[in-house]
Amino acid sequence: MARHTFRVWRGDANGGQLSDYEVEVNEGEVVLDVLHRLQATQTPDLAVRWNCKAGKCGSCSMEINGKPKLACMTRMSTFADGETVTVTPLRTFPVIRDLVTDVSFNFQKLREMPAFAPPPGLKPGEYRMQQVDVERSQEFRKCIECFLCQNVCHVIRDHEENKPAFSGPRLFIRAAELDMHPLDARTDRKEFAKEEQGLGYCNITKCCTEVCPEHIKITDNAIIPMKERVVDNRYDPLVWLGRKIFRRDQMPGYLGGPTQERLPVSEIVADRAGANSPYGDDITFPLPTESLTYEHTKED
Amino acid sequence: MTTTSAEPAAARPALGRRAAISAKHLRTDRWWVEPVYTVVGLSAWLIWGLVHTLLIRDYYFIEGPGYHYLTPFFSPCVNVECPPDSALLGRWAPSWVLPYAILSLPLLLLFRLTCYYYRRAYYRSYWLSPPACAVPDGHAKYTGETRFPLIMQNLHRYAFYAAVLVSIINTIDAVRSFWGTEGFGFGLGNILLVGNVVLLWAYTISCHSCRHIVGGRLKHFSRHPVRYRAWTFISRLNTRHKELAWITLGTLALVDIYILAIAAGWFSDPRFFN
């Protein structure tokens, strides 16, 4: 058993300060265990968001000695004996209280993204794809939405004014996931990434990759490939010329030829905020019972 | 999950403001080491390259029956002042045109300047944007690569195409250096030149743009098995792009200094065959 000084930021949006606590630490414990001990012994009103304690829910994101980390995955054995451990809330997002921040910015950005769009006529249950085609997208599905990458990204961390124009690394891996998805039929994702998500703001300094607890290669496998796809679409004169002459169907903004039905180009102009409902936008809930396709089992 | 409180607005804490933490950052590790090493390493290399290309001496070594080495910093040598044997693409540039490798050096510089790894390195180390993760950006305003001139970074793939051509020239140089007027022979300089060319190729094809062009731009790998295999190979190399970027800076400098040393007569080139 060792003793450590924990400097924990206490306060809310009106202000706050770092408060010192002397606390005992046992072998094998993580920072979140120590915060729970503080709650149980010295400061029962300390606000901490947590859930799974296994690095899979992404709730306990905070900054430990200035580095964005999951408290449940930061072992106390990584600190020297007697080292002061400073714990602060995520800097990029508005604080609610103590170590809890309001991360709704990320969900707002997620809602603004067009959802997965299978080819017309393909119904759920009919999706067939090869593993080799879908494995790039699967890497990005490991994301636990801890938003450490969003927090560390200097584009919004140090420049609050960029928030409206910049979606952040978590949303870039979503963009790459969908653009690389073998069954996603949308062709405007590169355009969306550039124009609406602010992909050009990223200067690939790779902090998102450094802090990702799921070790997703955010920069190398999502952001740079998306930047290259945008180059294909927007900046590469050879590709542009080749499309103009041979493949007009690949031109940005192409709305379909004689064999293809006209597809909606963007959901930005839709009459509702956010992505379309996966159930179809013409459906209102609760559904009328007569339209349900199942029956309750009857009691004997 | 957030629940909505029914209490009056006045009782709720103010929302929308970040935590008021006075310290600019709270990192306790030596985060400044990497930017410092990067600045020292890149600056030293650039200064050396500039000095040798402007000194215009000891860049070509010839010995015995036509065995010769040309440093990559002067390849292809196109100035009218170049030795005739060293000029692979002719001598046509007026003598006042510097550097002597006017065709290749600007393109190679552009390739490395727009390279995704070097961008990370110099944005962090020279431009402090940001100097390290969770350490504040050194600038009040930031627009990234959305505007001129940084939007030009998007033309990296053209610099890559040019770098492939220059790598071909470097390869021809390395092969030609094995042949004198009396046939095949090699010394330590040949081994260094070949090692340098192999590593230059590894750096060039591990480029992110190359990875994209070869297969990354495809939506369905299953329909392009050959390109998929090539993409897989390049992806493996690509994970070492940073290391290759530094290693090739080292080998370029090593080969250049070695040729300078033997051409200046500091020591002789050990010959292993002929």
Asked if A66 and B28 come within 8 Å (Cβ–Cβ), the reply is yes
CB interface of A with B, residues 48-77, below 8 Å: 63, 65-68
Q: Which domains does chain A have, with CATH numbers?
A: 2-97 (3.10.20.30), 102-291 (1.10.1060.10)
Please report, for residues A119, A284, B162, B226, the alpha-carbon distance to residue B153 in angstroms, rounded to integers and kept in the order given: 34, 47, 15, 29
At residue B228, the pLDDT reads 97
Q: With beta carbons under 8 A apart, name residues in chain B contacting A182.
A: 219-220
Asked if B141 and A231 come within 8 Å (Cβ–Cβ), the reply is no
The residue of chain B with its CA nearest to that of A202 is B144
* B13 vs A222, more confident: A222
Asked if A132 and B221 come within 8 Å (Cβ–Cβ), the reply is yes
At residue B5, the pLDDT reads 46
At residue B110, the pLDDT reads 96
At residue A264, the pLDDT reads 47
At residue A125, the pLDDT reads 83
Q: With beta carbons under 8 A apart, name residues in chain B contacting A202.
A: 144-145
At residue A292, the pLDDT reads 62
- Hey, what's the torsion of the CAs at A71, A72, A78, A84, to 10 degrees? 40
Q: Which of B259, B271, B267 is closest to B55 using CA atoms?
A: B259
Q: How many CB atoms lie within 10 A of CB B191?
A: 13
pLDDT tens profile B54-87 = 988 899 998 878 889 999 999 899 989 888 888 8
At residue B2, the pLDDT reads 46
At residue A296, the pLDDT reads 61
Instruction: Answer for the pair A94, B18: CB distance below 8 angstroms, yes or no.
Output: yes
Burial class (CB in 10 A: 0-12, 13-18, 19+), B29: exposed
Please say if the pLDDT value at position B13 is more than 80: no
At residue B164, the pLDDT reads 96
At residue B143, the pLDDT reads 94
Please say if the pLDDT value at position B12 is more than 60: no
Instruction: Answer for the pair A182, B220: CB distance below 8 angstroms, yes or no.
Output: yes
Q: Which of A159, A161, A138, A157 is closest to A147 using CA atoms?
A: A157
Q: What is the ipTM of this complex?
A: 0.91
Tokens, residue B120 = 């990370």
- Return the percentage of chain B with pLDDT > 70, whole number: 95
Q: State which H helix or E strand residue A25 sits in.
A: strand A15-25
User: CA-based angle A185:A190:A195, to the nearest 5?
Assistant: 130
Asked if A227 and B154 come within 8 Å (Cβ–Cβ), the reply is yes
- DSSP string for residues in B176-193: HTTEETTEE-EEHHHHHH
Q: With beta carbons under 8 A apart, name residues in chain B contacting A198.
A: 144, 146
Q: Is the dihedral of CA B17, B23, B25, B27 positive or negative?
A: negative
Q: Which of B63, B49, B29 is closest to B262 using CA atoms?
A: B63
Asked if B123 and A205 come within 8 Å (Cβ–Cβ), the reply is yes
CB interface of A with B, residues 115-134, below 8 Å: 130, 132-133
The C-alpha of A198 sits at a distance from chain B's nearest C-alpha, in angstroms, of 8
Confidence of residue A291 (pLDDT cuts 50, 70, 90): low
Q: With beta carbons under 8 A apart, name residues in chain B contacting A189.
A: none
pLDDT tens profile B93-110 = 898 988 999 999 999 999
- DSSP string for residues in A59-108: --EEEETTEEEEGGG-BGGGSPTT--EEEE--SSSBEEETTEE--HHHHH
Return phi, psi of residue A63, to 5°. Answer: -115, 120
Q: Model-level pTM?
A: 0.86
Provide the angle, in degrees to the nearest 10, between the axes of the packed helices B116-125 and B241-263: 90
pLDDT tens profile B200-232 = 999 999 999 999 999 999 999 999 999 999 999
User: CA-based angle B83:B85:B89, to the nearest 5?
Assistant: 95
Confidence of residue A120 (pLDDT cuts 50, 70, 90): confident
Please say if the pLDDT value at position B8 is more than 60: no
Q: With beta carbons under 8 A apart, name residues in chain A contacting B157.
A: 228, 231, 236
Q: How many CA atoms lie within 13 A of A277 on its CB side?
A: 9
Asked if B26 and A201 come within 8 Å (Cβ–Cβ), the reply is no
At residue A300, the pLDDT reads 59
Instruction: Answer for the pair B151, A200: CB distance below 8 angstroms, yes or no.
Output: yes
| pLDDT (mean) for A277-282 | 64
At residue A261, the pLDDT reads 45
Please say if the pLDDT value at position A297 is more than 60: yes
pLDDT tens profile B32-45 = 999 999 999 999 99
| pLDDT (mean) for B148-165 | 94
Q: State which H helix or E strand residue A12 sits in.
A: strand A2-12
Instruction: Answer for the pair A223, A231: CB distance below 8 angstroms, yes or no.
Output: no
* B229 vs A250, more confident: B229
- Hey, what's the torsion of the CAs at A216, A219, A223, A228, to 10 degrees? -130
The residue of chain A with its CA nearest to that of B218 is A180
